[in-house]
Structure 1
């Protein structure tokens, strides 16, 4: 995923609402979200190259349904070609029996072997954020308080224009009790940020401009899927995904 906004314990009876866009190269094969044949309690998309996932939920878990999502940290100068696939961090959590704190304790010692990532994990007991690029930030690995959060390819709530804009729109939609379609419209925003507000992530300025949109479409790369997840207090979670063209031409 390259943009996730989510509300934790903001709406009564609906502990978690998350909206996300997955940005990826169009030629990287993936399956649309759905139950996994080898683990039907998992509902998620699947990366057919690395075998992992970027976002998903489970129908059951030690503390009720589980949720997991991941974004990459954009740091081209630090990228290693021999690093393990980050999508396995999502898949292994969803497949396993550990809750989020125990799982983070397990992966933390080896986290630096991966290229940079943000990981959002949780269940009814709590939502946690972890990044292997947070350094000495005391928030790293913390349980999140009730509120609205956003993360793209920087750290949690880094004030990138698309994070700030989407969090504000998301909060407004939640307060209005907006229909699901409104969240997908939010995720379809192609507005680019002005140069003065762009982050400096180590890519050329023209590419930084294109990547500043919530919904990206550039040659060979762009927003592949938009997803809305709702985890209820007393019902099975819902995951609704839209596969965006030209991405649907290579999914499967």
Structure 2
């Protein structure tokens, strides 16, 4: 994923609501979100090139459902082509039996081997954020207090325009008790940020402009927002994951 906004223990009876966009090259093969044939307890999209996933949940188990999501940290000067796939960080947690703190302790041991990432994961008992670009003060992740959070390709709650704008819209929709369609409409925002508010992530200015939108449209470069997803963990019920697969704007009907 390249943008996630989520509310942790803000709405009574709904420990987690998360809304996310996945930005990726259009020709990178993947399956839409759904139960995995070899692990039907996992509901997630699947990356068919690197393996793993970018966001998913598990059905209710002994400790309740699990949730995990990933964004890349944009740092082109640090990118290593031989690094292990980051999607395995999501799928390994969903498929495993370690609780979130124990899993993040294990991830921390090899975190430096990966290109930059943010990992948000947990269950009804607790939600955690971990990044291998966050510094030594966040060795094994950060337990999150109740609240509304956002993360794109920087660190958690970095004040990027798309993060600030989407968090504000998300909070308003939560207060209104808005229907699901309103969250997908929020994720479809193609407005680009003014140049003065753009972050400097080491890419050319014209690319920074294109990437500043909540929903990215770059069909000429074969890249853009490919899926939008809304997830809910609800007390006493199975988790909900609803995904919309987007077509490149040049190919849209």
Runs of 4 or more, structure 1, over 6 Å off, are: none
1:230 aligned residue: 232
1:2 aligned residue: 2
1:36 aligns with 2:16: no
Q: How high is the TM-score relative to the length of structure 1?
A: 0.96
1:92 aligned residue: 92
Q: Match of 1:145, SS?
A: coil
Q: Match of 1:52, SS?
A: coil
Q: Distance in 2 between matches of 1:44 and 1:138?
A: 27
Once the two structures are TM-superposed, the CA of residue 139 in structure 1 deviates from its matched residue by 8.5
Mapped contact 1:62–1:97 kept (Cα < 8 A)? no
Q: Distance in 2 between matches of 1:6 and 1:78?
A: 28
Q: How high is the TM-score relative to the length of structure 2?
A: 0.96
TM alignment of 1:83-232, pairs within 5 A: 83-138=83-138, 141-218=141-218, 219=220, 220-232=222-234
Q: Which runs of no fewer than 5 residues in structure 2 stay unpaired?
A: none
Q: Distance in 2 between matches of 1:93 and 1:117?
A: 15
Q: Deviations over 1:122-145 (max 9, x none)?
A: 101100000000113449611000
Mapped contact 1:20–1:227 kept (Cα < 8 A)? yes
Q: Distance in 2 between matches of 1:214 and 1:32?
A: 20
Mapped contact 1:134–1:140 kept (Cα < 8 A)? no
Q: Which runs of no fewer than 5 residues in structure 1 stay unpaired?
A: none
Q: Distance in 1 between matches of 2:54 and 2:157?
A: 19
- Which range moves more in the overlay, 60-69 or 131-140? 131-140
Q: Match of 1:15, SS?
A: strand
Q: Distance in 2 between matches of 1:24 and 1:237?
A: 25
Mapped contact 2:108–2:140 kept (Cα < 8 A)? no
Mapped contact 2:70–2:90 kept (Cα < 8 A)? yes
2:17 aligned residue: 17
Q: Match of 1:16, SS?
A: strand
Mapped contact 1:62–1:98 kept (Cα < 8 A)? no
Q: Distance in 2 between matches of 1:137 and 1:194?
A: 33
Q: Distance in 2 between matches of 1:32 and 1:223?
A: 14
